[in-house]
Amino acid sequence: MSGLKLRGVRKSYGNVQVLKGIDLDIDSKEFVVFVGPSGCGKSTLLRMIAGLEDITDGDIAIGGRRVNDVDPSKRGIAMVFQSYALYPHMTVRENMGFALKFAGVPKAEIEKQVQEAAKILELQPLLERRPKELSGGQRQRVAIGRAIVRHPQVFLFDEPLSNLDAELRVHMRIEIAKLHKELQTTIIYVTHDQVEAMTLADKIVVLRGGEIAQVGTPLKLYDDPDNLFVAGFIGSPKMNFLKGQLENERVVLPEYGNISFPASVSASAPQEVTVGIRPDAFDAGGSEQLPLKVEIVEHLGNETYAYGRLGSGELLTIATDNDRQVKPGDDFVARFNPSSLLLFSEDGQRIR
């Protein structure tokens, strides 16, 4: 049992509430990603789970045990930091064995653990080096190795890939996914990069302003967001948002040529809505259409994105099904099916 239960977890610094009551269940062996814009409280929440920050209110339980007042080293967690936080005066071997040494583990056992972790992470040739003699990716692997040797119930990762270049980031992302498969432990991973969240997570927790905006699988959040924030945050390029009105069982877009189409929901009284449509929801065979003028074209090879301006002035992102013929200045008709739209009320909540 290495699941986590968070109940009404709050954090305040003086009068400033950073976390406003977090309730969350994390199952054993689950890979959970906390994602959100900077300042949303995701790192603070992680540090509270680690025991590096006091809990203002609420309870945190790891493996069924309440850990609010338990020392960080006794919570059964290990943490990998953004800056790696390797001890600069120690070799890789010493860095990895440091926690065990302080726990009074016999030397031979420490060596065995270090060797095992080094084997998993292919660090064996580097054991005698100091952190400053390693590349960023190698340092990151040592930091992960230091976590592995402690055999924690829960791994905590605090934006571990932010300091790496793009290529290495993708590589390490795959390494971490592999590691999760191999070690079969619970992982909580903090990032502001929604691509990392989508690719790694079993479950994503989207945080905003100290509250949970939505919890769900990556595809659930992508296909079925609860609110405007999650709809806009998950997915790259971002979802397009248009102003509209919901009347009876139809959606009207008065600012975009007054087009109207059937809605999947009905409203008793007419109401203002936000219509969300993902760039890849545009479909050449769609029943509805929005005429626009292409301003910028991005060729990614496997996909071509067109950024087109509507008559009303909004810029729309369209995945063109890799139509490589589109050019800036072209008149383009973006077609879509009403069934692929999402509707949000004025307060940003999804209308289902």
Partner 1 sequence: MIARILTRGSLYVLMSLVAFVSVFPFYWMIVGATNTSSDVIRGKPTFGTALFDNIAHFFNLFDVPRVLLNTTIIAVVGTVLTLALSSLAGYGFEMFRSKFRDKLFGLMLTMLSIPFSALMIPLFIMMSQAGLMNTFVGIILPGIASIYIIFYFRQATKAFPSELRDAARIDGLKEWQIFLYVYLPVMRSTYAAATIIVFMANWNNYLWPLIILQSNENKVITLIISSMRSGYNPQFGAVMVAVVLATLPTLFIFFALQRRFVEGLLGSVK
Count of residues touching partner 1 (by CB under 8 A): 25
- One character per residue 80-119, x = contact with partner 1 (rule: CB under 8 A): -xxx-xxxxx--------xx--xx----------------
Shortest Cβ distance from residue 260 to partner 1 (Å)? 55
- One character per residue 135-154, x = contact with partner 1 (rule: CB under 8 A): -----------x--------
- One character per residue 8-47, x = contact with partner 1 (rule: CB under 8 A): ---------------------------------------x
73 binds partner 1 (CB under 8 A): yes
Q: Judged by CB, which is closer to partner 1: 103, or 315?
A: 103
Among 132, 269, 285, 325, binds partner 1 (CB under 8 A): 132
Q: Judged by CB, which is closer to partner 1: 80, or 273?
A: 80
Do residues 92 and 151 make contact, with C-beta atoms less than 8 angstroms apart?
no
- Residue 83 CA to residue 122 CA, distance in Å, equals 21
Contact range with partner 1 by CB under 8 A, out of 73-81, 109-117, 165-173, 286-294: 73-81
Looking up tokens 């592999």, which residue turns up? 178
- Residue 243 CA to residue 253 CA, distance in Å, equals 7
69 binds partner 1 (CB under 8 A): no
Q: Other C-beta atoms within 10 Å of 254: how many?
A: 12
Output phi, psi for 234, to 5 deg.
-90, 130
72 binds partner 1 (CB under 8 A): yes
Shortest Cβ distance from residue 79 to partner 1 (Å)? 5
Q: In Å, what is the CA distance from 268 to each residue of 69, 248, 265, 271?
A: 52, 7, 10, 9
Q: Judged by CB, which is closer to partner 1: 81, or 307?
A: 81
266 binds partner 1 (CB under 8 A): no
Q: Which residues contact residue 340 at a Cβ distance below 8 angstroms, ignoring those fewer than 6 apart?
A: 277, 278, 281, 283, 286
Q: Which residues contact residue 337 at a Cβ distance below 8 angstroms, ignoring those fewer than 6 apart?
A: 281, 283, 286, 287, 288
Looking up tokens 């025991």, which residue turns up? 51
- One character per residue 211-250, x = contact with partner 1 (rule: CB under 8 A): ----------------------------------------
Burial class (CB in 10 A: 0-12, 13-18, 19+), 2: buried
- Coil/strand/helix, residue 246: strand
79 binds partner 1 (CB under 8 A): yes
Output phi, psi for 177, to 5 deg.
-60, -40
Q: Judged by CB, which is closer to partner 1: 111, or 211?
A: 111
What is the amino acid identity at position 351? I
Q: Which residues bind partner 1 (CB under 8 A)?
A: 47, 50-52, 71-74, 77-79, 81-83, 85-89, 98-99, 102-103, 132, 146
